[in-house]
Structure 1
Amino acid sequence: MLTILCIDNDQQCLTQLRHDLQLLFTEAFAISTATDLQQADLFLSQQYTQVALILCSQKLISANPLSIWQNEKYQAIRKIIYAREATAEQLVDSINIAQCNYFLALPYHTKVLQKIINAQIIDYNKSIINKCSNRLQSSDNSGKDEVILKQTESKLSHQFQEKFLDYSLYSDSNYPI
């Protein structure tokens, strides 16, 4: 069974979130909690293959941005960060540092939270399927990789050149192409 991990140092908020998630996803997910990023990191190090989604308070991101958020092992896990009041700087940090997939403003409505989580789980499943598919393709195409890469590179350079030329037409730059 996949797990949703909730991280918050406010015990009342964590209890309410856990309660709401258990009502919404009783049979679909296990709901686990952590009161700080160290607990969450320990939990993830032991069971990261079972965790599909992390819900985390924005306060904890600011406190320790380089912990679990940038670990390559946890890339497939979807991350929702929530806050009561968020500044533009907090939103930027949540996206750039914590690499969150969704930012949720509190208070939330349970039906809205359910839709957000459902969408994130669909994205999680897609990323896992793509990862497995890529592994299968790489093992099946061991001799064909070089040809595929050359074709992709030629398409990319052509697309880049078109976009660059389009940009330069509208640019204020004085530099010639």
Structure 2
Amino acid sequence: MFASKTAIAACALASLLLAVPAGAADSKKADPNKEQVRRLQQAQRKLEQEKNQLAQEKAVVEAERDAAREKAEGEAQRVAGLGRELGGLRKAKDDLAARLVQVESELKQAQEQVARLEGEGKRQQAALAAEKQQHTACVARNQEMHKAGLDIVERYRTKGCTDSVLQAEPFTGLKRVEIENAVEDMKERLDSQKIGS
């Protein structure tokens, strides 16, 4: 646009300058030609001023354009950097989401294992309590059997000759019945302490 205005103004100036000498040769009037030359020179100066002003405006516009281009390139680089950062953040988010699913699965398995172990612990505690009761019962039966054994040993130790003769006495057999009753009582005492009785 600037070049077309300058070209039009130059053509107009050239045509006026060519017309002035031809007109000066035909007529001897100097004043009107001088006035026309002066006007053309003023027009030329005005065009030169406009040209300079347009050149300055062009330089300002080009500087603004270059600054805007640099800013746009900077923004494009910034946007690209932000895009890469966003991609990285999305990948990190996806990785964290996958890790969360894995951790939740591991947590669920751990909770199930804890529940199984707690159930097993309760069963073991119940079995231990039953074993303790059985042990206590066994200790009591063992003590009773020990007493019965001591009673048998004591009776055997204190058995004298008279008891042996009376036990073998064939007529009444009272001592033999007494000894058999004592043996039967001891047998019953021992059988009562037998586990599973």
TM-score, length of structure 2 as denominator length: 0.22
- Structure with the higher helix share, 1 or 2: 2
- Structure with the higher strand share, 1 or 2: 1
Highest Rg: 1 or 2?
Answer: 2
Q: Which has the higher contact order (CA 8 A, sep 6+)?
A: 1
